[in-house]
């Protein structure tokens, strides 16, 4: 099939998932055309049947806000016509679903039909999309998509709760390539991070308010009072500066390391003993699933779709949002002895296998075939 994929090219989960999906489909022989404003971060190396089309937004002194959506819709039309695309799959509703609707109407005038699938990822529904500034356009363009998918049952429910949706939403859970993440940890790297065999805890996110990274630090400090441990914080975003500043004031600040944005998560995660995700909401929590695939148990909140991936007392533990005491108690229960850590690690991997790329990608392929 000739498929167009539209996504954000950044480190966010929706862009990561869209890119991994495109690469997996290309491996299966499909031609994949990414349409976005920058090369997606997870798209590196040469793939004979992956094409990248950059959306250029010319500036003009009149534009305080360059019209990205117009440029995107025009690029979609151009790429669809010149590459004979059979389907457009857009990830994250805003503004991709609206731009896809516009492209579809332009092509319809020329007698060309193109099915559009919109995959809802989370904040496009729960935070941004609900805002009345966007809501009418988001509702309309979701209803105009030929198919809607959501990355969790919880997100499907949230969508029906917050928007007037007139069609079915199919849940296709996010996936992970377990083979890629399940690697032996690099001993030399582990030695640098934890020279005295300290437990290694990891958090990865875009440091937005919804992630409550301050709870990651508080949980870690409670754990650190009881056992030797070190915390790696991966990623970057608006909350990082003040969290880094306040972490510097703590007695254990030397055990907290901010590594910034990292592309090779599969090299870092395998050295970890525990992954912390303290979010106020996660539609799914792809970062936690990648950790589990690297055999790392997860301490998370029980918000949103997290209970669909993290099984309490098996692949890790879940606590109420903000309950850092409970999160640290649970973390210590896993970390305090090697046997318990070993069991939780094995369980985390087994749980990740349920969301393996080989199980989930065929669900998208089946949907594409139906739509085409």
C-beta of 4 vs 15, nearer to ligand GMT: 15
* Partners of residue 299 on adjacent β-strands: 276, 317
Beta bridge partners of 54: 36
Asked if 17 and 121 touch (Cβ cutoff 8 Å), the reply is yes
Helix (H) or strand (E) holding 87: strand 87-91
CB of 37 to ligand GMT, least distance (A): 15
C-alpha 334/C-alpha 114 separation (Å) is 50
* Minimum distance from residue 321 beta carbon to ligand GMT (Å): 12
Residues 6+ positions from 203 with CB-CB distance below 8 Å: 213, 216, 231, 232, 233, 234, 275, 276, 277, 278
Structure token digits, residue 225? 């009072």
For ligand GMT, give the closer residue by CB, 3 or 210. 210
Q: For ligand GMT, which is the closer residue by CB, 145 or 283?
A: 283
* Smallest distance, ligand GMT to C-beta of residue 126, A: 6
- As a whole number of angstroms, the distance between CA 207 and CA 348 comes to 24
For ligand GMT, the closer CB: 127 or 192? 127
If one counts every other C-beta atom within 10 angstroms of the C-beta of residue 183, the result is 15
Q: At closest approach, how far in Å is the CB of 239 from ligand GMT? A: 12
Q: Which is nearer to ligand GMT, 9 or 297 (CB)?
A: 9
Residues that bind ligand GMT (CB under 6 A): 12-15, 17, 92, 121-123, 151, 174, 206, 208, 210, 281-286
In this complex, which beta carbon is closest to ligand GMT, that of residue 270 or of residue 285?
285
Please report, to the nearest 10 degrees, the dihedral formed by the alpha carbons of residues 304, 309, 315, 318 taken in order: 10
Report in angstroms how near the CB of residue 306 gets to ligand GMT at its nearest. 8
Cis before residue 95, ω within 30 degrees of 0? Answer: yes
| Least spacing, CB of residue 102 vs ligand GMT, in Å | 22
Q: Cα separation of 271 and 293, whole Å?
A: 12
d(CA 161, CA 51) in angstroms, rounded, equals 37
Which residues of 1-55 form beta strands (DSSP E)?
2-6, 31-36, 50-54
DSSP state of 270: G
Q: Using the minimum distance from each CB to ligand GMT, give the nearer residue, 139 or 206.
A: 206
- Minimum Å gap between C-beta 173 and ligand GMT is 9
Residue 281 vs 317, nearer CB to ligand GMT: 281
Torsions phi, psi of 232, nearest 5?
Answer: -105, 125
Q: How far is the CB of 119 from ligand GMT (least distance, A)?
A: 8
């Amino acid at each position: 099939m000739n498929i167009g994929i539209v996504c954000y090219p950044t480190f966010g989960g929706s862009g990561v998932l869209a890119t991994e999906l495109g690469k997996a489909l290309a491996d299966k022989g499909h031609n994949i055309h990414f349409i976005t404003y920058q090369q997606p971060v997870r798209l590196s190396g040469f793939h004979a049947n992956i094409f990248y089309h950059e959306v250029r937004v010319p500036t003009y002194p009149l534009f305080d806000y360059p019209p990205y959506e117009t440029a995107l819709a025009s690029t979609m039309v151009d790429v669809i016509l010149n590459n004979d695309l059979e389907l457009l799959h857009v990830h994250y509703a805003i503004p991709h679903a609206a731009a896809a609707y516009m492209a579809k109407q332009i092509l319809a005038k020329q007698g060309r039909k193109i099915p559009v699938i919109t995959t809802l990822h989370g904040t496009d529904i729960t935070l941004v999309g609900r805002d009345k500034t966007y809501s009418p356009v988001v509702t309309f363009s979701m209803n105009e998509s030929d198919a809607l998918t959501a990355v969790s049952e919880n997100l499907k429910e949230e969508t029906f709760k917050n928007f007037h949706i007139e069609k079915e939403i199919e849940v296709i859970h996010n996936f992970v390539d377990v083979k890629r993440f399940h690697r032996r940890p690099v001993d030399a790297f582990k030695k640098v991070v934890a020279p005295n065999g300290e437990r290694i805890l990891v958090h990865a996110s875009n440091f937005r308010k919804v992630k409550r990274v301050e709870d990651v630090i508080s949980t870690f400090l409670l754990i650190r009072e009881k056992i030797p441990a070190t915390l790696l914080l991966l990623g970057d975003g608006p909350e990082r500066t003040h969290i880094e500043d306040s972490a510097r004031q703590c007695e254990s600040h030397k055990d907290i390391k901010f590594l910034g944005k990292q592309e090779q998560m599969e090299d870092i995660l395998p050295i970890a003993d525990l992954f912390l995700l303290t979010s106020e909401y996660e539609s799914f929590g792809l970062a936690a699933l990648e950790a589990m695939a690297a055999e790392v148990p997860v301490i998370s909140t029980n918000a949103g779709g997290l209970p669909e991936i993290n099984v309490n007392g098996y692949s890790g533990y879940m606590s109420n949002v903000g309950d850092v005491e409970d999160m640290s108690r649970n973390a210590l229960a896993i970390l305090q002895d090697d046997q318990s850590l070993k069991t939780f690690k094995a369980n985390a991997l087994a749980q990740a296998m349920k969301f393996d790329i080989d199980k989930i990608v065929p669900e998208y392929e089946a949907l594409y075939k139906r739509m085409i």
